[in-house]
Amino acid sequence: MAKRFEGKVVAITGGSEGIGLATAKLFAAEGAQVYVTGRRQDRLDEAVREIGGGAVGVQGDASNLADLDRLYARIEHDHGKLDVVFANAGIGEIEPRPLGTITEESFDLLFGLNVRGLLFTVQKALPLMAAGSTVILNGSVAGSKGFAGQSLYNASKAAVRSFARTWTADLKDRGIRVNVVAPGGTETRLMRGYLEAHPGFEDMLRQAIPLERLGVPEEIGRAVLFLASSESSYIAGVELHVDGGSIAV
């Protein structure tokens, strides 16, 4: 059977675990040459082995512009092009910070990666991208909600949604599509840590999801592949909620 991403080069930030890793595996299984980043070299090496398909790990932090330069320099050296960017790297906080308790350090940490890092992840990739390339941004249902104590995270993901709108207009003449995948509650290490730190929240979360369960990373990954493929060729600037219906219902 033909593979949708045969001959395509894909870059995924934060690809050493969770949604990023699951998505990298799916791309590799569909024939893509996958490049993933992660901050911990040992975990990155393990992820590359899991992904298979000749995947390449480039150690780095997506909030560090020099690390992004190294990623794209490696891709340019190896292939001279880039077909798909999944700007996935992001962070949240375990402990709520209601307005009145927000610190400068927390602001800089969340916006430094979720907004600044995501912006430059995409901007620095553009010289390698041609017509037909795609950009997928990892948002969140939090960008459409007002979860108490999470104003920094909520606002950072709302910024991601806004980026997709504007960049769709900015890049239309270049033939590059930009979309957002917005996960709901998803069974990742970070989410599990948050749920364990807040007993009772998981039950509340499940009750708010019509499908009555958390998602799994592969379900988010399949939505990313759809947005990256020619199957979504007439879709641009959208936010695709992969959330069990929690926003719609």
Pick the catalytic residue from 35, 72, 153, 194: 153
The question of whether 153 is a catalytic residue gets the answer yes
| Interacting residues of 194 by C-beta distance below 8 A, sequence separation 6+ | 92, 94, 201
Residue 146 pLDDT: 86
Other Cβ atoms closer than 10 A to 81: 14
Could you say which residues of the chain have pLDDT below 70?
1
CATH label of the domain that carries residue 37: 3.40.50.720
Let me know if residue 1 belongs to a domain: no
Instruction: List the domain range (segments joined by +) for residue 184.
Output: 9-242
Burial label, 90 (beta-carbon count in 10 A; 0-12, 13-18, 19+): buried
3-state secondary structure 84-142: EEEECCCCCCCCCCCCCCCCHHHHHHHHHHHHHHHHHHHHCCHHHCCCCCEEEEECCHH
Let me know if residue 247 belongs to a domain: no
Pairing state of beta strands 33-38 and 56-59?
parallel
Let me know if residue 248 belongs to a domain: no
Let me know if residue 101 belongs to a domain: yes
Let me know if residue 206 belongs to a domain: yes
**What's the pTM?**
0.96
Residue 150 pLDDT: 92
Residue 94 pLDDT: 80
- Tokens representing residue 94 in the block: 């375990």
Residue 197 pLDDT: 86
Residue 1 pLDDT: 61
Looking at the structure of the chain, the number of domains it has is 1
Let me know if residue 106 belongs to a domain: yes
Let me know if residue 192 belongs to a domain: yes
